[in-house]
């Protein structure tokens, strides 16, 4: 039994009793019944993607992964959907996408490398999902000391992450380069890109990257 089960019962206005390992719900009922609330699962690992495809209305895909990761994740989501008699097209797949956009290419790539470095130090499981060489992750964590770290150590470790690796895991560069990369993620299975502005240039992203741009 999973949390998706009791969430759906709650949203229908039913009284719920649930004794899980981490979550315990005893005789809970919502006073007001909402209408048509979809249940999404945030998934990174492929087993979780498959489970989400089986039980959820949608899957929120992670960022700092490659389009190739998307293709593998979608295969597992599709397998999960089949278990509950559904098609992949019935499972919404929004994805958080890091966009390191700037007219200043040097700034765009440096900020992208810095973000990748931070996440390799903080959440190495993302590196596994993205097929980042284990050697690179180990080198980054050796310099940073894992997490938390200092700004000084982080800026030293950024030298380990090159532009090619950063561009593999996010959209980097000018408008056309970023649009091309976002389209790759959509072609690989993301149904709705949710853009995270890495460089802090929010207004240009709102202007240049509307849903009709891809």
- Per residue in 29-59, pLDDT tens? 888 888 788 889 999 999 999 999 999 999 9
33 found inside a domain: yes
Domain presence at residue 50: no
* Phi, then psi, of 197 in degrees rounded to 5: -80, 105
Q: Dig out the tokens for 159 from the structure.
A: 């030298």
Look at residue 28 and tell me if it is in a domain. yes
Band (pLDDT 50/70/90 cuts) for residue 20 is confident
Same domain, 108 and 6: no
| Burial of residue 202 (number of CB atoms within 10 Å: 0-12, 13-18, 19+) | exposed
Query: Is 183 contained in some domain?
Result: yes
Mean pLDDT of 79-106: 97
Is 65 inside a domain boundary?
Answer: no
Helix (H, G, I), strand (E, B) or coil at 142: helix
Residue 29 lies in a domain: yes
Contact 54, 172 (CB under 8 A): no
The enclosing H or E element of 100 equals strand 94-101
Q: In terms of residue numbers, what domain contains 24? A: 1-37
Q: What pLDDT is stored for residue 165 in this prediction?
A: 97
The secondary element (H helix, E strand) that includes residue 98 is: strand 94-101
Residues 107, 29 share a domain: no
> Domain tally for the chain?
2
Percent of all residues in the chain with a pLDDT value above 90, rounded to a whole number: 71
Rounded distance between C-alpha atoms, residue 124 and residue 139, angstroms: 12
Among residues 135, 58, 50, the alpha carbon closest in space to that of 92 is found at: 58
115 and 201 in a single domain? The answer is: yes
Residue 18, pLDDT score: 83
Averaged confidence pLDDT in the chain: 92
List, for residues 157-185, the tens digit of each pLDDT value.
999 999 999 999 999 999 999 999 999 99
For 34-56, give the DSSP string.
-SS---EEEE-SHHHHHHHHHH-
Q: How far apart are CA 49 and CA 77, in angstroms?
A: 5
Together in a domain, 123 and 20 = no
Residues 25 and 125 in one domain: no
HSE toward the beta carbon, residue 41, CA cutoff 13 A: 24
Q: Which of 15-19, 20-24, 165-169, 185-189 has the lowest mean pLDDT?
A: 20-24
pLDDT higher than 70, residue 1: no
Residue 57 lies in a domain: no
Do the domain assignments include residue 161?
yes
């Amino acid at each position: 039994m999973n949390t998706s089960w009791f969430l759906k019962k709650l949203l229908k206005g039913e009284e719920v009793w649930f004794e899980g390992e981490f979550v315990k719900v005893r005789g809970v009922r919502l006073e007001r019944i909402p209408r048509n609330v979809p249940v999404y699962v945030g998934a990174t690992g492929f087993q979780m993607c498959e489970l989400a495809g089986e039980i959820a209305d949608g899957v929120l895909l992670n960022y700092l992964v490659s389009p190739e990761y998307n293709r593998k994740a979608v295969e597992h989501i599709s397998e999960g959907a089949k278990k509950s008699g559904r098609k992949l097209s019935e499972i919404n797949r929004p994805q958080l996408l890091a966009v390191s956009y700037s007219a200043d290419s040097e700034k765009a790539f440096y900020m992208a490398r810095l973000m990748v470095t931070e996440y390799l130090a903080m959440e190495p499981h993302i590196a596994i999902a993205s097929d980042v060489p284990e050697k690179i992750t180990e080198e980054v964590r050796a310099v940073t000391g894992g997490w938390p770290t200092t700004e000084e150590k982080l800026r030293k470790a950024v030298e380990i992450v090159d532009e090619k690796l950063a561009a593999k895991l996010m959209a980097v560069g000018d408008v056309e380069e970023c649009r091309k990369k976002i389209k790759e993620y959509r072609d690989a299975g993301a149904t709705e890109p949710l853009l995270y502005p890495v460089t802090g240039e929010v207004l240009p992203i709102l202007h240049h990257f509307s849903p009709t741009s891809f």
